[in-house]
Amino acid sequence: MTSELNQQEAMELLRTMLLIRRFEEGLIQTQKSGISIGHFHVYIGQECTGAAAIALLEPQDKIATTHRNHGHLLARGADPRRLYAEILGKAAGYNKGKGGTLHATVAGLGFLSTSALVGGAVPLAVGAGFAAKQLGERCVSVGFFGDGVLEEGVFFESLNMASLWKLPVVFMCENNSAGALGQSAGEYPGSTIATKQLIDVVAPFGVPASAVDGGDPRAVRDVTQQALARARNGGGPTFIEARTVRWPGSRPLWPELSTGETDVAFAWEPDRIPMAHRDWFANDGLIRYVRQLFDAKLANTKEILALDATVRADLAKAMRFAIEAPYPDPASALDDVFA
């Protein structure tokens, strides 16, 4: 049922992953330079999951996401200029500055409301699946959410309904808790659940569940393809747990560029990786993927560096656009309350 990536698709996937990585590295630097964007969360270390899964979606499909949304939006084709502008609270932002990093969304790309409440988006994703089924549309609803959502009761209520009514939903749980120290160490929360593994709680609901390495785009692609096919063929929901290691920069409550800017050449010159960050980059899905492309001769170092340079140049322009863009008219705070 699954298909292999051709060279063009493989490079496109790399472009998406680089776009997300560089977008967020830029964001952390911007915040450091004194431009306030509030409390925010980055997708660094999880790019493979969103990039690989979202590449498989059809235009009519729906996506629900969370406070950790930048990667999902970019993978679906959001304009980095308008996304940066939103995160900086500017009028040119997708939400006209009303949402910021927590609620950035692009309705035209099939995104539902981006909820920053843990568990908030999951029933919305199930609802979009319910609507698709009622309306007879061949549309799948994919909910991206963190492992913490399985601690909220609403997750189980949502899963139950999706299973009972065989809704075309993919529960994409991004478990980034491996390597997390958690809140008792004064750091960003890690999984606090009694089950051995997350997928254990899904099986009793009769929903097929599998765990994959979220840093392996091919593995993510395989399980997502199967899940999407099941949903489109009336087979109901699937639960996928994509496991990634917590990026050290996401351990503190406020993200820090603690491993430095990623150097794609780490993929073919591992000796360049600073000693302190060897463990992290050895595991980093982006670097691993670059090495795979390189080893499989799908791309050479020159092509990879050129792609990276283009992505970075575009993002530098996008950030400049966002920084120079005007703030919304203060009185526009009163608009958009009702349809």
Ligand X SMILES: Cc1ncc(C[n+]2csc(CCOP(=O)(O)OP(=O)(O)O)c2C)c(N)n1
Sheet arrangement for strand 62-64:
62-64, 141-146, 169-178, 238-245, 209-213
Stretch that binds ligand X, among 20-28, 125-133, 142-150, 200-208 (CB under 6 A): 142-150
Residue 107: count of CB within 10 angstroms of its CB: 10
Q: Which residue ranges make up the site for Mg ion (CB under 5 A)? A: 146-147, 176
CB of 299 to ligand X, least distance (A): 30
CA dihedral 52, 58, 120, 123 (to 10 degrees): -120
Question: What whole-number distance in Å separates Cα of residue 30 and Cα of residue 11?
Answer: 28
116 is a site residue for ligand X (CB under 6 A): yes
67 is a site residue for ligand X (CB under 6 A): yes
Q: Which of 16, 65, 115, 177 binds another protein (CB under 8 A)?
A: 115
Question: What whole-number distance in Å separates Cα of residue 112 and Cα of residue 124?
Answer: 7
Q: How many helices (H) and strands (E) does the chain have?
A: 11, 5
**Which residues from 165-184 bind another protein, rule CB under 8 A?**
182-184
121 is a site residue for ligand X (CB under 6 A): no
Number of residues in the chain: 339
Site map 32..61 versus another protein, x via CB under 8 A: ----xxxx----------------------
179 is a site residue for ligand X (CB under 6 A): no
| Cβ-based nearer residue to another protein, 155 or 247 | 155
**Which tokens belong to 106?**
């692009």
Give φ, ψ of 241 to 5 degrees: -105, 110
| Element holding 171 (H helix, E strand) | strand 169-178
| Cβ-based nearer residue to Mg ion, 146 or 168 | 146
231 is a site residue for ligand X (CB under 6 A): no
Q: What is the DSSP letter of 237?
A: -
Q: What is the DSSP letter of 111?
A: B
182 is a site residue for ligand X (CB under 6 A): no
CB of 191 to Mg ion, least distance (A): 7
Residue 53: count of CB within 10 angstroms of its CB: 28
**Contact residues for ligand X, defined by CB under 6 A:** 41, 67-68, 116-118, 146-149, 176, 189
Interface contacts to another protein, rule CB under 8 A: 36-39, 89-90, 93, 95, 97-103, 115-120, 148-149, 151-153, 182-184, 186, 189, 192-193, 253-254, 327-328, 330-334, 337
